């Protein structure tokens, strides 16, 4: 488990135990509204970000998780609105 402040993500090795489509791991990250929420993380697609999704008010939010160097926490960047525009 990797911890920064009150946030954490599970090790990436846990994602490789299952087929790629089911390769999820868990974490708790800070959202743009300032709340800590549980997320499901995939396999990192770049050096800096990890694709993620979370349920917020009954709706699934898609985006990515990154480590904020100012607050020393993992943060969620919500890309759901941009994703819906591209449909």
Q: What is the structure's pLDDT at 20?
A: 58
Residue 51 counted as domain residue: no
Residue 54 counted as domain residue: no
Domain ranges, residue 75: 2-45+59-85
Which tokens hold the place of 19?
């087929």
Return d(Cα 63, Cα 41) in angstroms, integer.
Answer: 10
* Stronger pLDDT, 20 or 82, i.e. the higher one: 82
Q: How far apart are the first and last CA of the chain?
A: 36
In total, the chain counts a number of residues equal to 87
The pTM score is 0.78
Q: Give the chain's domain count.
A: 1
Q: What is the structure's pLDDT at 74?
A: 93
Query: Is residue 8's pLDDT more than 90?
Result: no
Look at residues 6, 19, 73, 11 and name the one whose alpha carbon lies nearest to residue 44: 11
pLDDT tens track for 18-69:
665 566 788 999 999 999 999 998 877 778 889 999 999 999 999 999 998 8
């Amino acid at each position: 488990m990797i911890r920064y402040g009150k946030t954490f993500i599970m090790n990436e090795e846990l994602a490789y135990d299952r087929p790629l489509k089911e390769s999820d791991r868990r974490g708790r990250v800070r959202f743009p509204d300032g709340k800590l929420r549980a997320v499901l993380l995939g396999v990192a697609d770049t050096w800096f970000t990890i694709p993620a999704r979370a349920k917020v008010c009954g709706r699934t939010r898609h985006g990515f998780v990154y480590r904020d160097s100012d607050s020393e926490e993992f943060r969620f960047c919500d890309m759901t609105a941009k994703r819906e525009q591209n449909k």
